[in-house]
Chain A
Amino acid sequence: MKEKVTILCCCGAGICTSNYLKEEIEDRIKQEGLKNVKIVLCRVSDVDEAISGADLLVTTVEMKAAYPVPMIRALGIMLDDKAAKKALDQIVNEVKKIMQE
């Protein structure tokens, strides 16, 4: 069992789309009643450094490298409601999975 899950949200500049993802994920995590989920923002150039503290990587950009944690491309959150739901479902499922590990 993992007590705490850290999600790293990353985008090109680390201020815009990652911040958008963070709010949407936070809302959904709250709805699901999940506790102890922390969301950290970073820009894509800082992922190498920030990844060490993360359990899950959520990104809006194409990642050029592979990382030792699960990765979810979540650009859908910003597009239509259907794509947003799909991406958020995927994130929540992954978080639950990590918590059970």
Chain B
Amino acid sequence: MDLTYTDEEEEFRARLREWLASVLPGLPPKPSPDDWPGRRAYDLGWQRRLYDAGYAGLHWPADAGGRGATPTQHLIFLEETEKAGAPYVGANFVGLLHAGPTIAAEGTPEQRARWLPPVLRGDEVWCQGFSEPDAGSDLAALRTRATRDGDHYVVSGSKIWTSHAEVADWCELLVRTDPSAPKHRGISWLAMPMDAPGITVRPLRTLAGSAEFAEMFLDDVRVPVANRVGEENDGWRVTMVTLSFERGTAFVGEVVACRRVLGELAAQARKNGRWDDAVLRRRLGRLNAEFRALWRLTQWNVSEAEQAGGVPGTGGSVFKLRYSHARQELFDAAAEVLGVAGALDTDHEWTLDRLSSLSYTIAAGTSQIQHNIVAERILGLPKDRPKDLQKGGR
């Protein structure tokens, strides 16, 4: 067991720090959260800077245009960019963390050549068309239909919780290509151009007041068969590849951010007198343990992935479960530090963070689904039999 970084890793860190210090002061001001075109331009601009400096697609394999960096280097990258206050991945999230790695792993040479470089260069934005109104946690119950018409699929249905849909160029879309097959089969993974006729995007307002995501209606949208990644009806397996990437690395930078916020909470509490409240103080102490351990767990999972050849393991679900709740507790504590009026003031960043933290135990698999994953796939407990139970109950 070793927590020291190699000379090579330290050198990587030092060069990255130097670069961040040189580039961050020249960044344009951050657009407002609801200005999606502004956010797109800002996020793509940051991606372009990363590309020019050789930091784009750090964790992507080299033959997909990435740097083929080790998971530890990726960890250092996320740690240092967060510490330096660099922009987060933002609108490039789906392209860089979901669709890109999936195409890199499952796409044909033509597909890789068409879609991967624009993601790395910051030319194109992707969104995720997985969830549907009637198939949330039961993702495989999706109903959006795609029927073959010559060398096209004709797609009809609707998607929901589609972040960045308004400003995306491409959508990683799950469709049902064989309605008669069992629900986990008969699904295909398509790259849908967002400017195709028949797509309607309607923004949804979140409880935090922001237009964070959208619903998307698909009315006879024609998508070339050549845009299918993986075999027809094999989309569920392709999707599992995508989700393992999502759960593997998506929250690393955020743990660093939470530790920074915790330090700010303590400083603020010492300043405004709330530190004298022993109950609050001890709560912050407990959160210190929580986020320190979550950081160590991250290092553990990353080291494990490195040993396994870069594949994120099931440890991601263990991490996500604990982290999503800890984040909510952190911003509840922030409300305590701010006091009654402060905690109700949406001009304060922590109040908005507190509201948005509610999504963490829902998005990317609810805590309840994550518990099932941990219990069934890691602990090997028997599967529930919802079908039989439903039949009996109806």
Chains A and B bind each other: no
Chain B residues proximal to chain A, CB less than 8 Å: none
